[in-house]
Amino acid sequence: MLKQPSTFIDFSSNDYLGFAKSEVIFDKTHQFLVDKKIKINGATGSRLLSGNHALYNKVETMLSQFHQSQTATIFNSGYDANLGFFSCVPQRGDIILYDEAIHASIRDGIQLSNAKAFKFKHNNLEDLEEKLLKLTKNNHSCKTKHIEVYVVTESVFSMDGDSPDLATMSQIINRNNAFFIVDEAHALGVFGKNGCGLVQALQLENDVFARIITFGKAIGCHGAAILGSKKLQDFLVNFARSFIYTTGLSPHSVATIKSVYEEMNFQVLHKQKLEENIQFFKSTIEKLGLEKIFISSKSAIHCCVISGNDNVKEISHKLLEKGFDVKAILSPTVKENQERLRFCLHSYNSSEEMYEVLRLLSIFVNEKPITI
């Protein structure tokens, strides 16, 4: 059931830096369009037809420079980017290895691919390496077509808030001559210099074949981009169906991305405040003795595991009655008995709000016996 945005204290949205509500960014975008005399409401067509307005090239150049990538290719959403990449880049006979907790958009893209796909255990590098070694051995003994192997993970997992050891993972993947793909949706704006993401923070940008960045989370607007080589960009433009067969983003949407990145470059207070809030939230979890029921996380996403759909919905409802919007994540979205409350932290959450929501949580969890 679709609901209207709530007026409760926000611990549920992906607007980590508050940019979605920023009047400064809104006014700056509007003024830029007025100054450049860009007074049109839509792109008018797909980017391969009439929709590739000049702002696209300007912003893609800015993105590639900011993210230290050869190219950036803007898609209409993170879903479209993942669908487009995984449905067209891996070819028939190739192999995709994916973390078992990977996002639904990647799973959907994989389902549309002609490649074979196998999952590895969540953030388990031993399991990944074992599967890669087996594939490498089979590849060497294969006398027909050479098989390419693609490994995909997220730098921050949306339903856990945790991260893989990307540096070690990259070494394993490179040793086995596979292609590394990282979805940075929930790391962009949160980690790295000026919010560049975890891949750059770890200086792995040259070891990653493709990065998927999305603008609907911390960036606070709409759209996504795939970062990679010029050869990859040319392939996506000509074969990614979610790129080819859709109307492009409006000039206003693309100009908003530009304004946000300029804000990230010159205004670091939002990110600093978010980092402070993450540390405060984590220390309060420890002070209240709640660490055993929380998944360890350094990101803006913190998940409290409460087994049973009815149990987690009840506590979510009780928090809502106290004015706090904290979403219950139910099975089968997550595994049975791994149901959880998902706390999303923001630069605009106060320490009083964070302490109070965790204080109430500790009371509600202990009010009745709950298997955790």
What are the tens digits of pLDDT across the range 89-110?
A: 999 999 999 999 999 999 999 9
List of residues 6+ apart from 103 with CB closer than 8 A: 82, 154, 158, 183, 185
Of 149, 136, 36, 132, nearest in space to 90 by CA: 149
Buried/exposed code over 246-281 (b: 16+ C-beta within 10 A; e: otherwise):
bebbbbbbbbbbbbbbebbeeeeebbebbbebbebb
The answer to whether residues 304 and 239 belong to one domain is no
The answer to whether residues 210 and 293 belong to one domain is no
pLDDT of res. 40: 93
Q: Is residue 25 included in any domain, yes or no? A: no
List of residues 6+ apart from 344 with CB closer than 8 A: 10, 11, 12, 13, 14, 16, 300, 301
- CATH number at 70 reads 3.40.640.10
The answer to whether residues 91 and 109 belong to one domain is yes
Quick one: what percent of the chain has pLDDT higher than 70? 97
On the question of pLDDT at 141 being above 80, the answer is no
The answer to whether residues 188 and 202 belong to one domain is yes
The SS3 call for residue 89 is coil
**pLDDT tens-digit profile of 312-350?**
999 999 999 999 999 999 999 999 999 999 999 999 999
For the chain, what is the domain count?
A: 2
Task: Determine the average pLDDT of the residues in 54-63.
Answer: 97
**pLDDT tens-digit profile of 15-42?**
999 999 999 999 999 999 999 999 999 9
Task: Determine the average pLDDT of the residues in 217-244.
Answer: 98
The answer to whether residues 278 and 156 belong to one domain is no
Q: Is residue 299 included in any domain, yes or no? A: yes
Q: How far apart are CA 69 and CA 273, in angstroms?
A: 28
Decide: 255 and 35 in contact? Cβ < 8 Å: no
What is the distance between the terminal CA atoms of the chain, rounded to a whole angstrom? 28
The answer to whether residues 272 and 147 belong to one domain is no
On the question of pLDDT at 240 being above 60, the answer is yes
The answer to whether residues 253 and 122 belong to one domain is yes
pLDDT of res. 269: 92
pLDDT of res. 254: 98
The answer to whether residues 280 and 342 belong to one domain is yes
**pLDDT tens-digit profile of 144-159?**
567 899 999 999 999 9
**What's the mean pLDDT when you consider all of the chain?**
95
Confidence band of 266 (pLDDT split at 50, 70, 90): confident
The answer to whether residues 184 and 93 belong to one domain is yes
On the question of pLDDT at 136 being above 80, the answer is no
- pTM of the full predicted structure? 0.94
pLDDT of res. 263: 94
| Integer CA distances (angstroms), 273 to 89, 158, 262, 280, 351, in order | 39, 21, 18, 10, 11
